[in-house]
Structure 1
Amino acid sequence: MQQYLEFASHHPLLFSALGLVFVLFIANEVHGSFKGGKRLSIPDAIRLINDREPIIVDVRPAPDFKRSHLLNAINIPLTKFDSRASEIGKDKSRPVLLYDMMGGGAGEAAEKLKKLGHTEAYPLRGGFNGWLGASMPVTAK
């Protein structure tokens, strides 16, 4: 503990930056819980995919989607989401799993779907990067 205090006294800018990063991380998590509702962890998303066959929506730009994406995903970029949300389907009780690169924009898309009457729209916590980090399968087809 003494070393931490010594470090903080010798490097106040670095210590302040660490504190700021920590506060921003907490703020991002709190903001995410309000935007788009419940975020699914990777294991919860896998359970949803295996048990309930959700519609999987990739809200990243089309070039990113073409490079690789989750199996059976459709691409509706966040920038075109309002005009293309009807492509998700008419069955508004079917769950929808949404993801982007890191998890931020998917919450916004989930909120929009809920306003359109979809009862279950879940952003993927960590987004596509989290999926890759968990060594889960992707495809380029």
Structure 2
Amino acid sequence: MQRLFEFIFNHYVYSLALAVVTYLLIQEFFDTAFKKFKPITPMLAVAKMNESDIDIIDVREPTEYVEGHIENAISAPLGKLSEQLPKLTRDKKAPILVVCQNGARSLSAAKTLAKAGYEQIFVITGGMDAWTEDYKLPIATRRKQKAQA
């Protein structure tokens, strides 16, 4: 036991690095084991959309949403998601599909939805980049109306 303490004292940088990596691995294990949302590919998302009535929440900024979004998606920027939750979905047991540009913001949104008590949360892996570039799935766009003089 004395040799262990001597090693830790002499190699404190390595010992600290080992402790940090161990902590991060354990945290990742528990996050993965107990997360309440499921990542799905764009093709599985289309299948879910076809088989059931699913709410689609787009957590990108409004300027990104206007450029192109999934048909019937509701725009709810990540920064305002918590305050918009009561207006977004009909009940907490209904399936929800969350999408962003590349998949990073939708993970944060899914965690927010899970904390709020929503039960069926699906996150599109790769976001709209995968939707349009990898799978070539259709998007809806809003055209800006010209101001009438």
In structure 2, list runs of 5 or more residues that go unmatched: 1-24, 143-149
Contact 1:103 1:124 in 2 (8 A): yes
**What is the CA-CA distance between 1:132 and the residue it aligns to?**
0.2
Following superposition, the deviation at residue 36 of structure 1 comes to: 6.2
Any idea what SS the aligned residue of 1:132 has? helix
Task: Tell me the residue number matched to 1:55.
Answer: 55
Task: Find the counterpart in structure 2 of residue 118 from structure 1.
Answer: 118
Alpha carbon RMSD of aligned pairs, Å? 2.0
State the percentage of identical aligned residues. 26
CA shift digits 1:71-126 (9 cap, x unpaired): 00000000111111222223111100001000011011111111111111111000
Question: C-alpha deviations, 1:39-98, integer Å up to 9, x for none?
Answer: 011121011100012100100000110111000000000011111122222311110000
Maintained 8 Å contact 2:37/2:120: no
Q: Which AA in structure 2 matches 1:51?
A: E
Please give the residue correspondences for 1:1-141 in structure 2 after superposition, counting only pairs within 5 Å: 34=32, 37-133=37-133, 134-141=135-142
Q: Kindly indicate whether the alpha-carbon contact (under 8 Å) linking 1:36 and 1:107 is maintained by their aligned counterparts in 2.
A: no
Larger Rg: 2
Paired residues of 1:60 and 1:75 also in contact (CA < 8 A):
yes
Letter of the aligned partner of 1:118 in structure 2? Answer: Y
Contact kept? 1:36, 1:122, Cα under 8 Å: no
Partner SS state of residue 141, structure 2: coil
TM-score, scaled relative to structure 2: 0.69
| 3-state DSSP of counterpart to 1:122 | strand
TM-score (norm 1): 0.73
Distance 2:87 2:131 in 1: 24
